[in-house]
Structure 1
Amino acid sequence: MGDTSWPGEQLIVAAQRGDIASITALVSGSHPNVQRFARSLCATPEDAEDAAQEALIILYRKIGMLRASGALASWMFRIVRNECLRRARTMRSHAPLPETAVHSAEEVALRRIEAGEVAAAVAALPAEQRHVLIMRDIQGRSGRMVAEALGLSTAAMKSRLHRARAAVRRSLLATPEPAPGDAHDDS
């Protein structure tokens, strides 16, 4: 496995001050970790690569905005997570709707909220569960293909998939419902 340490504080501070060589070294030193984040969060390898590149561009442009040098990893994780979620939303918005489907604005808004909650629940899963869930339920791969791709037995893959689905279900059930007075009722 590659180096998983983040660049040192001195390099981060120098980059925050605008030193071009330090910024360049910071971006290249952060690249392996950012790629790892993206691979664990995004639905496809292509999205992961694009999200990692976007995060590194943001790091390059906005390193001066980082408040604490020790917060680099969490800042980059948030950027990658947001980029993966944005890409997932974009992918869903390009999916064709049946020609007969007519949805109210309220129904569309509720579906977007639900989709965001599902995406957040999937993103919160441990990486090994998230990979199985995405490959099996989102990408539609067969159980045997998922098990082989991840180097697991079929039974281990099924166990992880079951735990991932249960965790997503628990997360969605724990989402608070709006109080009766919060919703506008036209009756």
Structure 2
Amino acid sequence: MTAAKARPPADLVVAAQAGDQRAISELLVICQPDIRRYARQTCKSQDIDDAVQDAMIVLYRQVGTLRVAAALLSWLFAVVKRECLRQVRLAARFAGSSTGAEAEPDISRPDHELRLDIDAALISLPEHYRAIIILRDIEELTIGEIAARLSITEQAAKARLHRARTLVREYLGPES
């Protein structure tokens, strides 16, 4: 693994989450090359700098909200992707596009990246939402079985599953 692709040290992420300004600055320096590389693959050329800048601002302002230090890069990649999509939609709106076909970005995401994004999305969920998604979508239990296992009503299980899936969709962005 090259130094450019190395994950930031977990203790640095934890220090940044605790509000250590020096750690946040180091994270900005460490993460920027990976974020820029991902933006070059994901965005149109004129949107790269905006996407990188947005990711760095989000890192600076919201690193404390990250639940798992190991998910930092996946989280930042999702920010870059959302910014690229926002820029495409904005350009389409200014161009007077009414079909929406031009607003679709030319993004093809390999399966391994999708898996990483989904993993990061699940990690970011509160435990009660993560558990219900795992029980339904991975263990393939029925709503009744999930309700019994979690000691909740079937209606509560359905509502919780719906909310959990909505949160995952929001995390993954509008194209998912």
Asked whether the 8 Å contact 1:3–1:32 carries over to 2, the reply is: yes
Q: Taking structure 1 as reference, are residues 2 and 70 closer, same or farther at Cα in structure 2, changes over 3 Å only? A: closer
* Identical-pair percentage: 37
Superposed, 1:59-70 pairs within 5 Å as: 59-70=59-70
Superposition deviation, residue 96 in structure 1: 4.4
Superposed, 1:102-113 pairs within 5 Å as: 108=98, 111-112=99-100
RMSD value, Cα:
2.0
Aligned to 1:3: 4
Asked whether the 8 Å contact 1:6–1:33 carries over to 2, the reply is: no
Moved over 4 A (4+): none
Letter in 2 for 1:55: A
How far does the alpha carbon of each residue in 1:101-151 deviate from its partner, in whole angstroms, 9 at most, with x for none? xxxxxxx5xx33x556x43xx32245xxxxxxxxxxxxxxxxxxxxxxxxx
Query: Is residue 107 of structure 2 the alignment partner of residue 123 of structure 1?
Result: yes
Kindly tell me the number of residue pairs found equivalent between the two proteins: 109
How far does the alpha carbon of each residue in 1:132-171 deviate from its partner, in whole angstroms, 9 at most, with x for none? xxxxxxxxxxxxxxxxxxxxxxxxxxxxxxxxxxxxxxxx
- Unmatched tracts of structure 2, length 5 or more: 111-176
Aligned to 2:32: 31
Aligned to 2:73: 73
Superposition deviation, residue 6 in structure 1: 2.4
Aligned to 2:54: 54
Aligned to 1:21: 22
Aligned to 1:82: 82
Superposition deviation, residue 95 in structure 1: 1.0
Highest Rg: 1 or 2? 1
Asked whether the 8 Å contact 2:8–2:30 carries over to 1, the reply is: yes
Superposition deviation, residue 4 in structure 1: 1.8
Q: Taking structure 1 as reference, are residues 2 and 94 closer, same or farther at Cα in structure 2, changes over 3 Å only? A: farther
How far does the alpha carbon of each residue in 1:8-48 deviate from its partner, in whole angstroms, 9 at most, with x for none? 1010000001001001101111000010111111111x310
Asked whether the 8 Å contact 1:34–1:80 carries over to 2, the reply is: yes
Paired with 2:68 and 2:3, the residues of 1 have a C-alpha distance of 26
**TM-score under structure 1 normalisation?**
0.53
How far does the alpha carbon of each residue in 1:164-184 deviate from its partner, in whole angstroms, 9 at most, with x for none? xxxxxxxxxxxxxxxxxxxxx
Letter in 2 for 1:72: L
Asked whether the 8 Å contact 2:92–2:102 carries over to 1, the reply is: no
Superposition deviation, residue 86 in structure 1: 0.3
- Unmatched tracts of structure 1, length 5 or more: 98-107, 127-187
Q: Comparing both structures, which one devotes a greater share of its residues to helix? A: 2
Paired with 1:32 and 1:2, the residues of 2 have a C-alpha distance of 10
